[in-house]
Structure 1
Amino acid sequence: MRSIGMTASSSIDPALPRDGQHFASLNRWMRTLVNYVRSGKPDLTNRQMALMMMVYTQSGPHTVRGLADALQVSKPVITRALNKLSALGYLRRERDAADRRNIFIVRTPKGAEFLDGFHDFIAGAGRDDIAHQPTSEPLA
């Protein structure tokens, strides 16, 4: 059985070009993820990471309904992701003091620390790109 993107003449036939900015961006993202996996930190799904980014990069208040609308997913999807992120201490639920029926999703110091560390993985992958770029002038 042949996989999509494979040809009869080759067991590996990449669908993406091996050069250019497109490949460099994917390569940088791959190095970021590999370094993250090697770090031993908890594996977050893309949904969990998107939820973290929404809460930490956009001003609040954040609610399950608002986050579900922003990410175009159901409220149960947000609730499941939030349960995991809350268990890790990266986000927490907080009752609205003015209306106890409302629950806000708020940042935590541990979540901010996690994202700072993830930023370092991204920045490190970018530094690798700069270190491996060919120069336009020959070296003496």
Structure 2
Amino acid sequence: MPVELTATEALSLWRRVSLEQVKRDTRDLTLRQMSILLHIYLVPPPHTVRGLAATLGVTKPVITRALDTMGALGLVDRQRDEGDRRNVVIKRTVAGALYLEKLGDLIIQEGRRTGS
């Protein structure tokens, strides 16, 4: 059964989740980095820099900078594609999966507050 929210309720949920995420986790991801991370974890692989750039409508250097940050945080990993050395394949990590699992739990928790 779909959850029905008004625009104000949806924005309030987003605000509460964002605020709690900032309080709980020091990794301060940009909206672009979060979009990339969610895509990597929710859309079946493989994921490449070229493919992510096309999906988000940005350049490869923009994706590379975002992946540099997320890689330093342990949320993703990059490897050269052995089949085509020009491609860089983006890999999921345990730390990234745990980060998003906690975020999902937080969204559920705050979403329940909206419905009550």
TM-score after normalising by structure 1: 0.75
- Decide which of 69, 75, 80 is 1:84's aligned counterpart: 69
The equivalent of 2:57 in structure 1 is: 72
Aligned residue type for 1:57: L
Offset of residue 100 of structure 1: 3.3
Q: Which has the larger radius of gyration?
A: 1
CA-CA distance at 1:98 after TM superposition: 2.8
Aligned length: 112
CA distance in 2, matches of 1:64, 1:95: 11
- For the residues of structure 1 that align with 2:101 and 2:26, how far apart are their CA atoms? 13
Task: Give the match for residue 39 of structure 2.
Answer: 54
Aligned partners of 2:25, 2:100: CA distance in 1, in Å? 15
Q: Any conservation in 1 of the 2:50–2:87 contact (CA below 8 Å)? A: no
- Which of 22, 25, 30 is the equivalent residue of 2:7? 22
The residue identity in structure 2 corresponding to 1:101 is R
Distance 1:90 1:98 in 2: 24
Q: Would you say the 8 A contact 2:78–2:90 is kept in 1?
A: yes
> Residues of 2 paired with 1:79 and 1:113: CA distance?
22
Counterpart of 1:37?
A: 22
**2-structure distance, mates of 1:37, 1:119:** 14
1:118 to 88, 91, 103: 103
Whose relative contact order is higher, 1 or 2, with alpha carbons under 8 Å and at least 6 apart? Answer: 2
Structure 2 residue matching 1:89: 3-state secondary structure:
coil
Question: How far 1:130 moved relative to its partner?
Answer: 2.0
Relative to the length of structure 2, the TM-score reads 0.90
> Gaps (5+ residues) in structure 1?
1-19, 132-140
Alignment partner of 1:98 out of 70, 77, 83: 83
Uncovered stretches (5+) of structure 2, i.e. residues with no partner: none
- CA RMSD across the alignment: 1.3
